[in-house]
Amino acid sequence: MQFAPKKSLGQNFLLDEGISRWIADQIQPDGAPRVIEIGPGYGALTKHLAGRADKLLLIEKDDALADALRFQFENRADVELWHGDATRYDMRSLFACGPVKAIGNLPYSMGQPILRHFLSPPTPVSEAVFMLQKEVCDRLAAKCGDESFSALSLLVQQHWQVEMLRVIPPSAFKPRPRVDSAVIRLTPRPAGSLPVFDRMLFDRLVRSGFSQRRKQMKKLLPPAPDGWDALVTALGKQATLRAEELSLEEWVALTRHYEGRHDEDRGQRATEMFDVVDENNQVIGQSPRGEVHAKGLRHRAVHIFVFNKHGELWLQQRSHLKDVHPLGWDSSAAGHLDVGESYTAAAARELKEELGIEAATECIADIPATERTGWEFVELHRAQHNGPMHFAPDEIACGCFFRPEQIQGWIAARPQDFASGFIECFRAWQLIQELV
């Protein structure tokens, strides 16, 4: 080894060739369109990934190691190096590449921030294989009743299924770490496997509930809407309930109780009434939503583009409950006009209902009704807001600000990821930009 390993960068290098190969195999790199390796170091895993994935992206913070990797792979079109802190890597440009696999023997000093950066939605990562301290892997994979069950288990498992693959002893590394390591696989929890709930509220409740593990939750959580007894009765639990006694599904039920969300999830109502319009956007009658969509009747909708102070546009990923384009990416907020409602009033209502914000909007484009807009006459509005958005979980799965050029590249590479009406709106906005 040519240099002294840096403890601050969690540099414990894998020496065991068999284990390195086995870990690389777990991500099934052969023919994968894109694999990211975090912290390649001297390339223990890299040598079993390069040449197998179509594109391999290496992210390394250490200056000397990054130089060595650049030298090693400089003539390889299929291997790219990004020199810097993995938690600063802009994941948003990777959406254009489609689903991405992530792998790494993570620096233990930075394990949790790296997990948060790569796995918090929205993320293009569709599968991850990571090595971390065994104690952290135990917590990530733990279920209710396990000794390691903690807030971390719930915060990760609300989005990911975690599988413990193998324990690796200190003797596999140089320098040897003081504790065992383990390899885990993370795969996304299927959409709809949990009922919808307010993720921000869930995070807050879980963190409060586990803030003093042995204390009863009644003393740690905010007052329940109809009192504590009604809450524990609804959950079928004792009043002396502790955080570790609730499974993920029960924590979701608890969050929904705080939200006052007592009904089963359902998609949009086919009976909701819309104005039906003629080819000149003049109202000619009213019909229920189901009929408007089934017969392709012309009707009205508003899309709102919310920009932050950096000129980035907030995109929403539509909820899996939507009848059209479920899980497709869409304008910041969008919706049909209610009967007799103006476009401006609908824009303000949608911002409030979908994103939980109030902001003035201005109309910047009229888009005619065509098959591509789903026979909607669309007014495109713009608004300014820096977030955070407190979005409605039955409408929106997740969302994020993107730079316009990232969206442009993403639409060009993968138009199938978007609701078609949004693509029309984005093109209209781009035309306006060219004219300004």
Does position 381 bind ligand SAM by CB under 6 A? no
Does position 252 bind ligand SAM by CB under 6 A? no
* Binding range to ligand SAM, per CB under 6 A, among 40-48, 141-149, 238-246, 397-405: 40-48
The residue within the footprint of ligand SAM, chosen from 86, 141, 206, 383 (CB under 6 A), is 86
Does position 11 bind ligand SAM by CB under 6 A? yes
Does position 49 bind ligand SAM by CB under 6 A? no
- Number of residue whose CB is nearest ligand SAM: 39
Does position 138 bind ligand SAM by CB under 6 A? no
Does position 39 bind ligand SAM by CB under 6 A? yes
Does position 50 bind ligand SAM by CB under 6 A? no
* Binding range to ligand SAM, per CB under 6 A, among 6-14, 134-142, 246-254, 308-316: 6-14
| Of residues 38 and 231, the one with the C-beta less far from ligand SAM | 38
Mapping DSSP onto H, E and C, the string for the chain reads CCCCCCHHHCCCEECCHHHHHHHHHHCCCCCCCCEEEECCCCCCCHHHCCCCCCCEEEEECCHHHHHHHHHHHCCCCCEEEEECCHHHCCHHHHHHHCCEEEEEECCHHHHHHHHHHHHCCCCCEEEEEEEEEHHHHHHHHCCCCCCCCCHHHHHHHCCEEEEEEEEECHHHEECCCCCCEEEEEEEECCCCCCCCCCHHHHHHHHHHHCCCCCCCHHHCCCCCCCCHHHHHHHHCCCCCCCHHHCCHHHHHHHHHHHHCCCCCCCCCCCCCEEEEECCCCCEEEEEEHHHHHHHCCCEEEEEEEEECCCCCEEEEEECCCCCCCCCCEECCEEEECCCCCCHHHHHHHHHHHHHCCCCCCEEEEEECCCHHHCCEEEEEEEEECCCCCCCCCCCEEEEEEECHHHHHHHHHHCHHHECHHHHHHHHHHHHHHHHC
Q: How many residues bind ligand SAM (CB under 6 A)?
A: 24
* Binding range to ligand SAM, per CB under 6 A, among 54-62, 158-166, 231-239, 344-352: 54-62
CB of 4 to ligand SAM, least distance (A): 12
* Binding range to ligand SAM, per CB under 6 A, among 32-40, 94-102, 152-160, 257-265: 32-40
Does position 361 bind ligand SAM by CB under 6 A? no
Binding mask 96-115 for ligand SAM (x = CB under 6 A): ---------x-x--x-----
Does position 318 bind ligand SAM by CB under 6 A? no
* Binding range to ligand SAM, per CB under 6 A, among 9-17, 197-205, 210-218, 424-432: 9-17
Does position 393 bind ligand SAM by CB under 6 A? no
| Of residues 65 and 184, the one with the C-beta less far from ligand SAM | 65
Residues of this chain that interact with ligand SAM (CB under 6 A) are: 9-14, 38-42, 44-45, 59-62, 65, 85-87, 105, 107, 110
